[in-house]
Amino acid sequence: MAAAAATLVATEEDKTLVLKAEGEWLLATAAELDRRLRQLDPPPHQPIAIDLGGLDRIDSAGAWLLLRAELELTARGNPVELRNLDPTFAPLFEQVRAGGSLSPVAHPRPDHHTLVGFLARLGAVTLGLCARTYRLLGFFGLVCATMMRLTLRPGRLRLTAMVAQMEQTGVNALAIVGLLAFLVGVVIAYQGADQLRRFGAEIYTVDLLAVGILRELGVLMTAIIIAGRSGSAFTAEIGTMRVTEEIDAMRTLGLDPVEVLVVPRLLALLLTLPMLTLYADLMGLLGGSLMARAALGIAFPEFLSELRNAVGTRTLWIGVVKAPFFAAIIAMIGCYEGFQVSRSAESVGRQTTLAVVEAIFLVIVADAAFSVFFSVLRV
């Protein structure tokens, strides 16, 4: 913007203070003019004339500054007169006079910036969490009841939808689950070998790998990847259907959304997650065995025989048995959060984030619970 020049010249004409506003009263010059006008401090009851004859250009900010000066000085008891207003600027002054306000509404201060506000927020969040848990349990019950009804009338199960979901959540996830499990196997084998070599116990790298991957990491990694990949997809799909009122349309057509949308997703994930876990176990061991050969020179047959010594099939099953539970957590939360979407686009994003965070959190909590449970059972 070209340097706009605006001036305010004060002169005295037989006891009247004359303020001559000249030049370009625009946003660009407003900060300086604002300062000048605020410095005005005429003696009380002195008449004031604001001479607008010298204005070249003026925008609403400039007009506001002049009108504000008029209002404030009048409020102080100085009679104010606006002079020589160019008729082309008159409509602007009219409009600004109608729209302006001397005391703008204050910006709301976020209430969590105060201690009480913080405590109130903490309380509200806690209560919200309890309420959500309660509703989630209610949803769980609803889904269970629907599944019961379906076992009585298995013909109503939507097989096509279920198979499509199995492809989405299972087959399409093979590449990412496999690659990540393989890399985790490589990392564990390398770190294990590095530590165990100091004790001359390199061969126990295989035990570390087998127990670590089969019991915990295979299923946990898979569940976390699937929570991020499919749990979020469930929320986004169902949530989008809520935004576009498809769910409401479904209800008016006599379809049960839980039966149509939730059950196929839940059953699909219940079936695919254990299979993906087995596959992840395999890929993890493969990665580990390659690393063991490279770093420790443990050949493949040697690796296999040590593997057979280290773990039985029970270790494998201890891992895999957790998968359906994790699958239920992921599918339930994914679908539930989808139904919680209100009719706006931003709420789809919010609920999707929430679904992933909750699912991963609960999967890890459940895994810890399984560890305690198994140690009590001494398996």
Partner 1 sequence: MKPAPPQQPIISVRGLVNRFGAETVHDGLDLEVYAGEVLGVVGGSGTGKSVLLRTIIGLNRPAEGTIEVFGTDLLALAESERREIEKRWGVLFQEGALFSSLTVAQNIEVPLKEFYDLPRGLMDEIAALKIGLAGLPEDAAAKFPAQLSGGMRKRAGLARALALDPEILFLDEPTSGLDAIAAAEFDQLIRDLQQSLGLTVFMVTHDIDSLFAVCDRVAVLVDKKIRVGTLDQILRDDHPWIRNYFHGPRGRAASAAQAGAARLALSDPA
Interacting residues toward partner 1 by CB under 8 A: 1, 26-28, 30-31, 34-35, 59-61, 64-65, 68, 91-92, 94-96, 98-102, 104-108, 346
Of 44 and 104, which has the nearer Cβ to partner 1?
A: 104
66: left (phi over 0), alpha (psi -120 to 50) or beta: alpha
Nearest approach in angstroms of CB 40 to partner 1 is: 15
Residue whose CB is less far from partner 1, 215 or 242: 242
DSSP 200: T
* 318: Cβ contacts below 8 Å, ≥ 6 apart: 214, 215, 374, 379
Residue 245 gets the label, from left (phi > 0), alpha (psi -120 to 50) or beta, of: left
Of 110 and 297, which has the nearer Cβ to partner 1?
A: 110
Handedness of CA 161, 162, 167, 169 (dihedral sign): positive
Give the tokens for residue 181.
């499990």
44 versus 91: smaller Cβ distance to partner 1:
91
| Dist CA 145 CA 142 (whole Å) | 5
* CB of 84 vs partner 1, minimal distance in Å: 19
Task: Return the number of the residue (68 or 121) whose C-beta is nearest partner 1.
Answer: 68
Nearer to partner 1, 26 or 261 (CB): 26
Q: What is the smallest separation between the CB atom of 78 and partner 1, expressed in angstroms?
A: 20
Task: Count other C-beta atoms under 10 Å from residue 248's C-beta.
Answer: 13
Q: 281: Cβ–Cβ under 8 A, 6 or more apart, which residues?
A: 181, 213, 214, 218, 316, 319, 320
